[in-house]
Amino acid sequence: MTVRTSIEKATRSVLGAISLQTEAQPDILDTLQAEHDEVQELLSKLVDSDTGREQKSLVARIKAALVPHTKAEEKVVYDAVLALKGGPAKVDGNEGYIEHGLASETLKKLDKLTANTPEFKATAKVLKELVNHHIKEEESNIWARVKENFSDERRAQMNRDFLLAKKKVKLS
């Protein structure tokens, strides 16, 4: 190998390493956004649905989307926000936990009800309203804390932790 080709080869590998390093890693907030959009769409379909069969299948899909999302979000995002200094951040983190609890109870209730009855439809509406309210606040309050306090690298790590934590959640 001539000196020139070895220099060219070395240059290519250095440039390759640099481009690998600067390649943007997925951000936790992008993953959360995509999952919020998905569950909101499923909830809209549920409230608009006229058949019991479709309603039951949508409840199962909502459960499969919502339960791992909320559990992993608590572990990876809320607990990181709760660990920040200052009372207001802790209020946001606690509010998130409480709203997840309310959504989870409402979803469990919905799961036990007979589909296409007035009680089922009312419970589905309440779940949709709860989740929409929760997502709106989370995307403004919790995300502002994440953007303000965590670097791009930390957010990429949070994304990896979130995906891993989701896999460990069991649907009861």
Those residues with Cβ within 8 angstroms of residue 39's Cβ, 6 or more apart along the chain or in another chain = 62, 65, 66, 69, 131, 135
Structure tokens, 108: 């469990």
Choose between 96 and 115: whose C-beta lies nearer to Fe ion.
Answer: 96
Choose between 35 and 115: whose C-beta lies nearer to Fe ion.
Answer: 35
**Cα–Cα dist 82/89, whole Å:** 6
Footprint on residues 25-84 left by Fe ion (CB under 5 A): 73
Choose between 46 and 66: whose C-beta lies nearer to Fe ion.
Answer: 66
Reduce the secondary structure of 54-107 to three states and give it as a string.
HHHHHHHHHHHHHHHHHHHHHHHHHHHHHCCCCHHHHHHHHHHHHHHHHHHHHH
Footprint on residues 112-151 left by Fe ion (CB under 5 A): 138
**Residue 149: CB minimum distance to Fe ion, A:** 17
**Residue 33: CB minimum distance to Fe ion, A:** 9
Instruction: Tell me how far the alpha carbon of residue 10 is from its chain's centroid.
Output: 42
**Residue 138: CB minimum distance to Fe ion, A:** 5
Phi-psi sector, 25: left (phi>0), alpha (psi -120 to 50), beta: beta
Number of residues engaging Fe ion in binding (CB under 5 A): 2
Choose between 92 and 121: whose C-beta lies nearer to Fe ion.
Answer: 92
**Residue 58: CB minimum distance to Fe ion, A:** 19
**Residue 39: CB minimum distance to Fe ion, A:** 8
Choose between 92 and 138: whose C-beta lies nearer to Fe ion.
Answer: 138
CA atoms within a 13 Å half-sphere pointing along the CA-CB vector of 72: 24
List interacting residues with Fe ion (CB under 5 A). 73, 138
